[in-house]
A and B are shown apart, each in its own frame.
Chain A
Amino acid sequence: MTLVEKILAKKAGKKVVKPDEIVEISVDRAMIHDALGAHTIARFRELGVEKVWDPAKIVVVLDHYVPNKDIDTAKKCLNIKKFVLEQGIENYYEVGKGGIAHQVLVEKGHVLPGMTLVGVDSHTTTSGAMGAFATGIGVDEMAVVFKTGKLWERVPGTIRINVEGKLKPPIMSKDLMLVILKRLGISGALFKSLQYTGSAIRGMSIESRMVLTNMAIESGATNGIIEPDQKVIDFLKARMNQRFEVVHSDPDAEYAETLEFHADDIKEPMVAVPPKPSNAVGVTEVEGTKIDQAFIGTCTNGRLEDLRIAARILKGRKVDKFTKVIVIPASQEVLKAALAEGLIATFVEAGAVVGPPTCGPCMEAHMGILGPGEVCISTANRNFQGRVGDVTAKIYLASPATVAASALKGKISDPREFF
Chain B
Amino acid sequence: MELKGRVWKFGKDVDTDELFAGRFIMGGDETSQSQYQEFIARSGLSDVGHRENVPKGFLAKVRKGDIIVAEENFGIGSSRQQAAETLKFKGVQAVVADSIHRIFFRNFWNLGCPAIDLPGISAEFETGQEIAINLRRGTIKNLTTGKRFEFRLIIPTWFIDMVEAGGLIPYHKSLHNVKSKNQSAK
List which A298-333 residues lie within 8 A (CB) of chain B. none
Find A276's partner among B13, B111, B168 (CB 8 Å cutoff).
B13
Inter-chain contact B73/A187, CB cutoff 8 Å: yes
Specify which chain A residues have a CB less than 8 angstroms from the CB of B60 in the assembled complex: none
Supposing A364-B21, A384-B18, A385-B50 touch, asked if A36 and B80 sit within 8 A by C-beta, the answer is yes
Specify which chain A residues have a CB less than 8 angstroms from the CB of B167 in the assembled complex: 140
Specify which chain A residues have a CB less than 8 angstroms from the CB of B73 in the assembled complex: 186-187, 220
1/0 per position for B87-119, CB-CB distance to A under 8 A? Answer: 000000000000101110011001100000000
Q: In the complex, what residue of chain B is closest to A221 when comparing beta carbons?
A: B102
Q: Cα distance A43–B78 when bound, in Å?
A: 19
Number of A-B contacts (CB under 8 A): 131
Whether a CB of chain A sits under 8 angstroms from the CB of B169 is yes
Q: In the complex, what residue of chain A is closest to B15 when comparing beta carbons?
A: A384
Instruction: Say how far B95's CB is from chain A's closest CB, in angstroms.
Output: 15
Specify which chain B residues have a CB less than 8 angstroms from the CB of A187 in the assembled complex: 72-73, 76, 99, 101
List which A99-146 residues lie within 8 A (CB) of chain B. 119-122, 124, 136-141, 143-144
Inter-chain contact B154/A154, CB cutoff 8 Å: yes
Inter-chain contact B101/A73, CB cutoff 8 Å: no
Supposing A121-B79, A391-B47 touch, asked if A137 and B106 sit within 8 A by C-beta, the answer is yes
Q: In the complex, what residue of chain B is closest to A192 when comparing beta carbons?
A: B102
Specify which chain A residues have a CB less than 8 angstroms from the CB of B102 in the assembled complex: 190-191, 220, 222
Inter-chain contact B22/A365, CB cutoff 8 Å: yes
Whether a CB of chain B sits under 8 angstroms from the CB of A78 is no
Instruction: Say how far B10's CB is from chain A's closest CB, in angstroms.
Output: 15
A contact set with B: CB distance below 8 Å: 20, 22, 35-36, 38-39, 42-43, 46-49, 64-65, 70, 72-73, 76, 79, 119-122, 124, 136-141, 143-144, 147, 152, 154, 186-187, 190-191, 220, 222, 276, 363-365, 369, 382, 384-389, 391-392
- Given A38-B30, A73-B26, A187-B72; 15 other pairs, CB 8 A cutoff: A35-B80, A36-B79, A47-B169, A64-B25, A72-B27, A122-B103, A140-B107, A191-B154, A365-B22, A365-B25, A384-B77, A385-B15, A385-B47, A385-B50, A388-B22
- 6 residue pairs, one from A and one from B, having the closest CB atoms: A364-B22, A391-B47, A138-B107, A138-B81, A42-B30, A136-B79
